[in-house]
Structure 1
Amino acid sequence: MSGADWLSYSLQDFVMFGPQVFLRLFVRINQDLWPWQVLAVVAAIGIPVLLFRQGRNARCLAVGLMAVAWAVSGYGFLVGYFGPINWPAAWFGWAFVAQGVLLAAAMLFGGVHGGALSFGRFVALWLIVACGLPWLVLAESGQWQALALFGIAPGTTAAAGALIVAVITGPWRWLYLPLLVLWSLFSAAMFWVLQTSWLLVTPVATLLLVGAGFWLSPRPARSLD
């Protein structure tokens, strides 16, 4: 195929399904998983609670729950449900699993920050993500079973995961960032092609929350010397 042939393609040519097919995936996974979604809700509540308990162990456990959320949403939704109709989604699904492994490694090998976080700001942003973003798919589909829950839907999981930038340090943080950016660009392009305007809020929010994660990150203590 010549370069001129490639230039004749548009984004629409690489999306072989319509918005209703995509939105139906959220309904299917919620129906198939019921009632295990309760565990995802518990994790969404437990992560901010653990992050602000005294002691590094609680913070590491919160990062561990986030690692599980990355892996479950990647393998469950992207590989299992979305991958069969969109091959790049399967690649991203395995990248989500790898992101979970990366967080688990950061948890085990000292990549979790022990400094104090701004409790009110972090919780406010977390609640916006965990309680607000899941309703965007419902707004597009009109079906309450289509809620895009944290730990199940990759968009909501990635947006919440962007805030975890605040508690991981050193090279772990820089290894963690690329997938957040790449997933946001990929999903934004897909939602644009599908003309699901409400869903565009999620990738935009993810990129903004990456910046918020840096802003909320504990500052290193400075010596008077």
Structure 2
Amino acid sequence: MFGPQVFLRLFVRINQDLWPWQLLAVVIAIFIPVLISRQNRAARRLAVGLMSLAWIVSGYGFLVGYFGPINWPAAWFGWAFVAQGALLAAAVFSGGVHDSRLAIGRLAVLWLLAVCVLPWLAMADSGQWEAVGLFGVAPGTTAAAGALALALVTRTWRWVYLPLLVLWSLFSAALLWVLQTWWLLVTPVATLLLVGAGFWLSPRTAQSPD
């Protein structure tokens, strides 16, 4: 139904239509690791709440509003992104965000790599700087960085949050492979790696030496 040029043009269109509001997404993306580093329950809940908002905006805005009209499975994933955001919001308001100590430095580095490096991959494929895929706007970057929320939520919420990350990674990898947008293929791979990092960084129950 469409080729790579049409797909990459979606990134340009949404950035042009949103300007200058996507600058707020940049500020939020940089502010989230600052909140997490405070080792404070209220700050951590706010960080997860902002991730929740990013899922909803990118799902409804990009997938439903821009990609869905030319690719109907994308619209389904868009609504799934909205549900994923609602899930994180429910975790925030129901005690699903833990206050255990984390390896904040590692988490912050992975977060900043996701939100600062991955957005430029769409630009590398399209050759247009306006195609930058920002956290909270582009679903790929949002899902990749959002995978690190696995380190911040409790075990039950973690397992409910996981399936969409895996399904989206498989779907987007298949789509990007068919479109031969090779640079963007890094994003679903990074998402799966960050899923592993989220579990690795999550606090573990203390084990008895016996």
Q: TM-score range by the shorter chain?
A: over 0.9
Match among 124, 127, 131 for residue 139 of structure 1? 124
Counterparts of 2:37 and 2:99 in 1: how far apart (Å)?
10
State the partner residue of 1:4: none
Q: Which amino acid is 1:178 matched to?
A: P
Deviation at 1:124, TM superposition (A): 1.1
Partner in structure 1 of residue 110 of structure 2: 125
Q: Which residue of 1 aligns with 2:14?
A: 29
Residue 171 of structure 1 deviates from its aligned partner by 1.6
Structure 2 gap ranges (5+): none
* TM-score normalised by the chain length of structure 2: 0.97
List aligned pairs for 1:106-117, cutoff 5 A.
106-117=91-102
Structure 1 residue 218 displacement after superposition: 1.9
Q: 1:185 & 1:113 partners in 2: Cα distance?
A: 29
Match of 2:136 in 1: 151
Structure (1 or 2) with the larger CA radius of gyration:
1
Amino acid at match of 1:100: G
Which residue identity is paired with 2:86?
V
Task: Indicate the residue corresponding to 1:91 in structure 2.
Answer: 76
Correspondences of 1:1-225 after superposition (within 5 Å): 16-221=1-206
- Partners of 2:39 and 2:99 within 8 A in 1: no
CA distance in 1, matches of 2:204, 2:95: 17
* Number of residue pairs aligned between Structure 1 and Structure 2: 210
How far residue 181 of structure 1 moved from its aligned partner, in angstroms, is: 0.3
- Deviation at residue 224 of structure 1 after TM alignment: 8.1
One-letter amino acid of the counterpart of residue 99, structure 1: Q
Counterpart Cα distance in 2 of 1:127 and 1:105: 25
Offset of residue 220 of structure 1: 3.1
Secondary structure in 2 aligned to 1:133?
Answer: helix
* TM-score of the two chains, using structure 1 as the length reference: 0.91
Partners in 2 of 1:55 and 1:120 — Cα distance?
Answer: 15
* 1:41-64 Cα deviation digits (max 9, x unpaired): 111011111112142111000000
Moved over 4 A (4+): 221-225
Paired with 1:204 and 1:224, the residues of 2 have a C-alpha distance of: 37
Deviations 1:5-40 (A, max 9, x none): xxxxxxxxxxx1000000000000000000001110
Conservation of the 8 A alpha-carbon contact between 2:122 and 2:131: yes
Counterpart CA distance in 1 for 2:21 and 2:125 is 24
User: What SS does the aligned partner of 2:160 have?
Assistant: helix
Q: Distance in 1 between matches of 2:208 and 2:41?
A: 23
Which amino acid in 2 is paired with 1:103? L
Give the 3-state SS of the residue equivalent to 1:26 in structure 2. Answer: helix
